[in-house]
Every structure is written in C-alpha cells, then in structure tokens.
A = this chain, B = another copy of it.
C-alpha cells in the first residue's frame, strides 16, 4: 500500500511556513506499514493542484491532501478534488448544520464564505470535523482514493488518526491492529544502539513482526520503536512486550522513558514520587533548563525556581561560589548547594560550562560541569565534553543535565 502526500499553500513554497504536516503524516504512515514515497508542496493554484493530484494518483494507491480547505477564495482543494473526480460540489446538510452550530456556540458571526466549507464532491464521504469548521473528505477515484484534511496541525492529526489510517488499512485488506511502543534513549549513538541490539535485530529480521526502527531525534535523543501487527490489540501488545523485554535488558542503562514521556516529564515525575522539590542554578544554559522544566504544566508542584548566574559576581554573592575559575568542578558543586539554600529546595541542580564562540578560563568550547546536591547536602559532579556550536552545545547541556539528575534520583 502506497500513500503519497500533497501539501497545499503558496506560503509553504515561499518559506513563510515550514511544511511539518507531511513529515508528521509520513511518520504515522510508516508506523502503520504504509509506504509514502513522494511528498509534494504546491501553491494555491487550481490548475497546478489538479495536475499534481493526478500525477500522484497515477503512481500511488492513495494520496493525502493537506490544506486549502478554509473558507477564503484562495482555498481551492475542494474544487481541485471535484475536478480530479469529475464530480460536482454539493452542499452537505449535516456539515452545514455543524458549521452553523459551531459559530453560534462560540457566539461568533458567520460570514457567507463559511458555507463554502459545507461543499462536498458527489461520491465523497465526510470525516466529521470535531475541532475546526472544515470537515475532511474521503474521495474515491476509480480504485484509488484521495483524502483531504485541513492544514491546521491538530485538526489534521485528529482526522488522520481517527479516519484515514483505519480506512487505508481496511482498503489494504488488512484487518490487522497495528500498535507501537517507543523506548526513549539518551547517551548512546545510533550506531552504538545498533551494535548492542544486533542480535535482536537479526532475530526480528527472521520473524518479520514486530519491526524495529531507530528514530534519531537530535537533542531529544534516539527513539527505538517497536511496531507489531496482529489480529487483536491484545495480541499486538503481547508481541511487543515479548520483544521489549530483551531490548530493555540490553540497553536499560540508556532508556529514560516510553512513548510520549520526555526527559523533563520523567525528572518531574521522579521528584514528585519522592516528595522532593528542585532548584536550579545555571550559567552556560542561561535559563534554558528552568525554561524546559516549566514547559510542563504542573511543574510548579516540584519546581521552586532557578538562578541564572551569568556574571561571576552573581555566582559569588548570591550562590556563595568561592573565588576561582567559574567553569570548574568546585564552582558547579558550590552552585548546586547554593541553589538548594537560596531557593529553599530539597535538591539543587547546577550547570557551568563554555558555549563559545571562544574558550573561557582555559577551558575549550563544549566543556560542561553538572552537579546535583541532594537533601543531605552531598553533591555529585560530572564533567562532560559536548560537541557543537553555541546553540547545539547549550541544548545538549540541558538534556545532559536533566539526565544526570534522573540517574541520581533513580539510584
């Protein structure tokens, strides 16, 4: 089964918006065992849209069209699909009613344009809108199919998961359930993981189900994804657990979470479980560690605050760091203790390092010291050498520090 993707919008071609939708769709299709071999961006031009849709349909079994379902005169996806189907556009009463009731529920005035969104090509079926005013469309073209979804990411994602992937699987004649488990890792390269899991990968190649994939996700680490196909959900999960176990026993040292967990959510959960509060002192990352922890709603339950000690005087006067080099084992340890005391937290996490562009105190760009001060005021300190220029080095420092804290709390 092959499903190509077409993203609609002149703003995508002009670089005003980056097309992240087709990447997301590609990831979901791959996880469902469906090939997506060509993905295209085309502007809001009826002739070119029709041409590209025909081109993609001539090669793929199915095409997802993303965007161009809005109410303005630039939104031409409905018209393009009707032309490809050789069908008329007819107002769908149910869709129209849903649009009218959405506007009245929000107390907003509806313009005549909005009724354009109730037009459906004859022969197409509707994916009901639950979040926005535009419904999705399932449009048969001969023995192939075009799916249309809005370009708003959360509306698109909802319709793809709820309606399109199940429809594609049904069309492929597969009544199988497909389930995935993602193991999130930090601290091992992709080739390193590959090497350590080689025996299991070879075994999986023989059985063919589940499949295993590595997804390198930059400074979010590397995801190891197991995807199983089976007659029932339970059977698929059983297959996954059977293989998750040996994978975990090979690389348990680098797995920090599963599925939607992030390093920051895992650290906050560990603190909450142990009834501990956290304070952070950071210089090289300049507030990014605190910024990332507080991106999690509810972090205020355990996160008390942070000190960004950029100037040396702030380190000395506020955190009580003794005189001496600011990027050092001793400075990091004193910062972690200082964070605990000044912020009144149970645990203190501190980072000091060199992000560049030039070295500092004789330490090269990429130097990082991480310290964790525990409730009994004992401190452990780690020294790392990270790659990358300023931005990358700072982002790697954030996740490295959170991982050190996670390991300390897990012990």
Interface residues of A (CB under 8 A from B): 12-20, 22-28, 30, 36-43, 45, 48, 52, 55, 215-217, 277, 280, 282, 285-291, 293-295, 297, 299-300, 303-311, 313-314, 317-318, 342-344, 356-357, 390-391, 394
Contact = CB atoms under 8 A, between A and B. Distances in A.
A72 B171 CA distance: 37
A390 B297 CA distance: 8
B42 A37 contact: yes
Contacts of A39: 12-13, 40-41
A215 to B, nearest CB: 5
Copies of this chain in the oligomer: 2
Nearest to A390: B297
Nearest to A215: B16
A26 to B, nearest CB: 4
15 contacts: A14-B26, A16-B216, A286-B290, A286-B306, A287-B287, A287-B289, A288-B291, A290-B308, A291-B291, A294-B310, A299-B310, A306-B306, A306-B307, A314-B343, A318-B343
Contact of A287 (B52, B216, B294): B294
A120 B138 CA distance: 46
A343 B309 CA distance: 9
A395 B20 CA distance: 19
A64 to B, nearest CB: 13
A15 B19 contact: no
- The main secondary structure of chain A at its interface with chain B is mixed
A70 to B, nearest CB: 15
Nearest to A55: B55
Contact of A305 (B27, B277, B310, B390): B310
A13 B40 contact: no
Contacts of A38: 13, 40-42, 48, 52
A390 B292 CA distance: 12
Contacts of A17: 23
A17 B218 CA distance: 9
Nearest to A311: B304
A295 B394 contact: yes
Nearest to A25: B15
A311 B390 CA distance: 30
A153 B27 CA distance: 22
A297 B286 CA distance: 12
Contacts of A48: 37-38
